[in-house]
Structure 1
Amino acid sequence: MTRNRKKSRLLAGGLAAALLLAAAPLHAGAFADVEADPNAAAIRSLEQAGLLSGGDGKFRPAEALTNAEGIALLVKAFGLNLDRIRFIQAPQASQYYPGMSDSAWYSESFLIGAALGVGLPKDVKPGAPMSRETFAALLLQAMKAADGGWSGAKGEAPEDDSAVGSAYRDSVLELIGAGLPLLDPSGNFQPKKAVSRSDAAAWVEGGRKLVKGIKPESESPSPVSPLAGVELTTAKLADGVVKVTVSAQAPNPGYGIRIASIRFDGGQAIVSVAVVRPKPGQMYPQVITEVSADTYVDEAYTAVLDEAAASSGEPLKGGILPGKNAR
């Protein structure tokens, strides 16, 4: 891989060919087929924010959301970008998703999502329908990746909880606890069913309201106190990509951790992290909780923790450790 010292920044947006994302905001009330939809208010709100578009003046709310549309919507709706990650050479979506065209309208969104932990399996089919449980998990990841982060308590399990995949269950419960309209009138989530464009809009609008107004963290790396036992692990993926995971122990489930920046020095990728503070006004049990955040670097570099994180102290003592990502 050819290296250069020019910092490359990739911004979300500008996906003119996207079905869900408009190159320019539509006029309010442009959709002619949403008035009778139960999520009409949410659709109109996202439409007025310039986050939704359709074809022939229609949104087609009952149609299934595709993987490409889902990733593009989340990246745009939560303002996700790679500003905080500095690259020696501009990365490409095909590095994370072999076989994906880097010129496809959705490639930039897939790249941004993958780098920020809002990703799909490497063999994903962009045009295939996205399941409700998959979109719920990606939505929560996008909320946590947004400035200021998000953390909330888990709600009651849906009536069809046994049908929810184990990899998605915590995300679904956390979104239910946050009050998002994930359940049908019978209390079922229907996890394997394709998420409709209407429901996707309602969930995203709800998620945006939850993270709106959270004070962003400082742009500069900040100490991770009161987190303790911060450590970095890596796992080699395909095509020369290494997944970097930074984990720590928090005094309660309200805290989180995020990747603040990555800087490259010689053969090292120096990872800086910052604490995500509990949401104001929320009560959390004083239970030691493991939290983590992921990012990705080229295998040519050795990922190391920034000194501020490495000196954050010994693991916390006492309490109960629910397990990895238990927040």
Structure 2
Amino acid sequence: MTFSTAFAFNDVGQEQAEAVSSLQARGVVSGIDAEHFAPKEKVSYGQSVQMIVKALNLNLDTIRFVKQPLATDYYTHVANDAWYADAFIIAHYNGLEIPKDANPHAAITREQFGDLLIRALEKKGNFPMIKMYININDNDQINPLYQGEMQRLLLFKITALDSGGNFNPKQELTRGEAATWVYNASQIVDKFAQKPPAAVEQVAVTVEKVTDDVNKVTLTREEKPNAGYGIAITGIRFGQDGQAVVTYTLTNPDPDSMNAAVITKAAASAYIASNYKAVAEPDASASGSN
């Protein structure tokens, strides 16, 4: 993040600059003009839903509709041609439980925004969180339906209590605060995003008769582009079910090594009694296994 990007808006303080500039770069938020973000202005319900849905990439990708859903199917005051209409539809199908009569032009309170944000965040996965109770001095002012969500909002460090230990749940949220909360939530998603499991390389098992009592078992890797790839048998477990589990490790060439550029199939062999059926299994205890 460059200095010019962080302070593209001249009315954004340093404590909110990173959040605002990051969300602006992603197209999640925009200013009221080229130089002003108006961070102290109240954020509307419609702006809030749009911001949360877009920042956390909620979508309808896995849903198939018989007919196109319309905002008016679910909300009394959300016009179908409103710029935030799609966000309300996406929020509905992602279980954010927005009231049917929600006014998209009205200001949103801290507890309302926090509830929507936590519900949206938890749709993205199960994220690690220290389980403890945070004492909120004005907890009696929080809607009982939101109290659990406000605890999680604080435990995830999406926001914090004020200097007096209060959450101020009924206070209307500002644009700068909303951007900061949403940015912090998106950072959690980015940090703990589940990566797809690495593909497991297939190892072929072939059995060759040596004698009536002994078989030669060979494990062979897939074709590789050079001779730097290897396979080693690390052990054999003989089970009562008649299986001989041949464990192995795979080694790959060092990026700086020089190897002959020739198609190879690395192989390793062992001998077992012919009354056992050989199966291959990666050696989970070996650091070099794939």
Q: Give the alignment partner of residue 46 of structure 1, picking from 9, 23, 42.
A: 23
SS in 2 for 1:38: helix
SS in 1 for 2:15: coil
Give CA-to-partner distance per residue, 1:61-111, whole Å, 9 cap, x none.
011110000000001000010001111111111111034210111110001
Higher normalized helix content (fraction of residues):
2
CA contact 2:23–2:179 (8 Å) conserved in 1: yes
1:55 partner letter = I
CA contact 2:5–2:21 (8 Å) conserved in 1: no
1:51 partner letter = V
Alignment map for 1:227-238 (pairs within 5 Å): none
CA contact 2:6–2:18 (8 Å) conserved in 1: no
Residue in 2 that maps onto 1:122: 100
Give CA-to-partner distance per residue, 1:244-288, whole Å, 9 cap, x none.
xxxxxxxxxxxxxxxxxxxxxxxxxxxxxxxxxxxxxxxxxxxxx
Alignment map for 1:45-194 (pairs within 5 Å): 45-56=22-33, 57-146=35-124, 148-150=125-127, 152=129, 153-194=131-172
- Cα distance 1:151–1:128, how it changes in 2: closer, same or farther (>3 A)? farther
1: CA distance, partners of 2:50 / 2:79: 15
Q: Shift of the alpha carbon at 1:39? A: 2.2
1: CA distance, partners of 2:195 / 2:19: 28
Q: Shift of the alpha carbon at 1:45? A: 2.4
2: CA distance, partners of 1:142 / 1:154: 21
2: CA distance, partners of 1:203 / 1:215: 18
Residue in 1 that maps onto 2:217: none
- TM-score of the aligned structures, taking structure 1 as reference length: 0.55
CA contact 1:66–1:127 (8 Å) conserved in 2: yes
2: CA distance, partners of 1:31 / 1:198: 12
1: CA distance, partners of 2:175 / 2:182: 11
- Root-mean-square deviation (CA, aligned residues, Å) is 2.1
- TM-score of the aligned structures, taking structure 2 as reference length: 0.61
2: CA distance, partners of 1:139 / 1:157: 21
Unaligned stretches of 5+ in structure 1? 1-25, 219-327
2:99 partner letter = P
Q: Shift of the alpha carbon at 1:30? A: 2.4
Give CA-to-partner distance per residue, 1:214-257, whole Å, 9 cap, x none.
34498xxxxxxxxxxxxxxxxxxxxxxxxxxxxxxxxxxxxxxx
